[in-house]
Amino acid sequence: MGQDPILTVDNLNVIVTTPYGVTQTVHDVSFKLEAGKVLGLVGESGSGKTMTCMSLLKLLPEKAKVVQGSIKFKNIDLLNVSTEDLRKVRGSEIAMIMQNPMIAFNPVRTIGRHFIETLRTHLPITKRQARKMAVEYLEKTDLPNPENVLKQYPFQLSGGMLQRVMIAITMSLSPSIIIADEPTTALDSTNQLQVLKQLDKLREEYNTCILLVSHDLGVIAQLADEVAVMYGGYIVEKAPVLKLLNHPMHPYTKVLLESRLGLTRRKIKVEKRESVSRPNLINSEKTCPFLERCEDADYTCSSYNLEFKEYEKDHLVRCVKSR
Partner 1 sequence: MSWFIFKRLTSLIPILLGISLITFILLHLIPGDPAVAYLRASHIPPTDETVAALRVELGLNKPLYVQYFEWLGKVLQLDLGMSYVSNNSVWEEIVVHFFPTVQLTFASLIFIVVISLPLGMISAIYKGKFVDQFSRILAFVSVSMPTFWLGFLLIYFLSVKLDLFPVLGRGTLAHLVLPSLTLAFAYIGTYMRLLRASMLGNLNEPFVVYARARGLRQRLIVIRHVLKKSLLPVITGLGMSFGNMLSGAVIVETIFAWPGMGQLFVTSILNQDYPMIQGCVLFMGVIFVVCNLLVDLTYSFLDPRIRWEGEK
- Residues lying near partner 1 in the complex (CB under 8 A) are found at 57, 59, 61, 87-92, 95-96, 98-100, 103-110, 117-118, 121-122, 153, 155-156, 169
Closest to partner 1 by CB, 111 or 294: 111
User: 175 vs 279, which CB is nearer to partner 1?
Assistant: 175
Task: Report the distance separating Cα 251 and Cα 212, nearest Å.
Answer: 22
CB of 169 to partner 1, least distance (A): 7
Instruction: Write down the least CB distance from residue 132 to partner 1, Å.
Output: 19
228 within 8 A of 41, measured Cβ to Cβ: yes
Question: In whole angstroms, what is the distance from residue 314 CA to residue 309 CA?
Answer: 11
Strands across the sheet containing 76-77 = 21-33, 7-18, 64-73, 76-77
> Please, what sign has the CA dihedral across residues 32, 35, 41, 46?
positive
Distance CA(26)–CA(240), nearest Å, equals 22
Closest to partner 1 by CB, 134 or 217: 134
Q: Which residues contact 88 (CB under 8 A, 6 or more apart)?
A: 122
Shortest reach from residue 126's CB to partner 1, in Å: 17
Select 103 or 282, whichever has its Cβ closest to partner 1: 103
The rounded distance, in Å, linking the Cα atoms of 284 and 267 is 35
**What is the closest distance, in whole angstroms, from the C-beta atom of residue 285 to partner 1 in the complex?**
32
Q: Which residues of 193-226 are buried (b: 16+ CB within 10 A; e: fewer)?
A: ebbbebbeebbeeeebbbbbbbbebebbbbbbbb
- Pairing relation of β-strands 38-42 and 226-231? parallel
Q: Shortest distance, CB of residue 203 to partner 1, whole angstroms?
A: 19
Q: How far is the CB of 90 from partner 1 (least distance, A)?
A: 4
Angle between helix 159-172 and 127-140 (nearest 10) = 120
Would you say 57 or 317 has its CB closer to partner 1? 57
- Measured torsion, CA atoms of residues 66, 70, 75, 79, in degrees rounded to the nearest 10: 20
CB of 93 to partner 1, least distance (A): 9
Q: Measured between alpha carbons, how far is residue 293 from residues 61, 115, 286 in Å?
A: 30, 46, 16
CB of 44 to partner 1, least distance (A): 21
Which of 155/271 has CB closer to partner 1?
A: 155
Asked whether 51 and 64 are in contact (CB, 8 A), the reply is: yes
110 vs 191 by CB, closer to partner 1? 110
Q: Please, which residue, 32 or 122, has the CB nearer to partner 1?
A: 122
